[in-house]
A = this chain, B = another copy of it.
Amino acid sequence: MADADAIEILKRKKLKHTKQRIRVLEDFLANATAISQPMLEKKLGKEIDRVTLYRILNTYVNKGILHRIVDLNGTANYAICSSACSADQHHDEHVHFNCTNCYKVYCLATKVPAISITDGFKADSISLIAYGICKECN
């Protein structure tokens, strides 16, 4: 069952495994696609309080379980990290696609290319988002 996977991840990250955290994590494990907070909230209904959901998502981002993608509207979207991600560093980042029509965010297979950063700036992570029309809207 998916429960086991979720609990396993929480243990590894030294997080208490509450009903709510398991519920959210399971959802991400079941769907490889990115989802926005508002959509996730709608999906969960009254299972989890809005504030709790925000806090869980933040915790997961900080622990390297989820990555956050801010879309065109400035709304946070979340997707599960590759196993290589840790609390300190988010590795192996891929390109995201943000549809200008339906606003959905996709994780593409394309990896973010290495870039050179101007002297004096210290980059921790890089986000590459392509904007356009997605497969579904085409």
Contacts and interface: CB of A to CB of B under 8 A. Distances in A.
Contact of A115 (B113, B117, B123): B113
B115 A110 contact: yes
B124 A131 contact: yes
Contact of A130 (B76, B117, B133): B117
Interface stretch (A10-18, A23-31, A46-54, A67-75): A67-75
B118 A123 contact: no
Contact of A131 (B110, B126, B133, B138): B126
A9 interface: no
A86 interface: no
A97 B121 contact: yes
Nearest to A125: B131
Interface in A83-138: 95, 97, 100, 106, 108-110, 112-113, 115-118, 120-135, 138
Contacts of A124: 100, 131-133
Interface of A: 70-76, 95, 97, 100, 106, 108-110, 112-113, 115-118, 120-135, 138
Given A74-B76, A110-B117, A110-B118, 5 more contacts: A97-B118, A124-B133, A126-B131, A127-B128, A128-B129
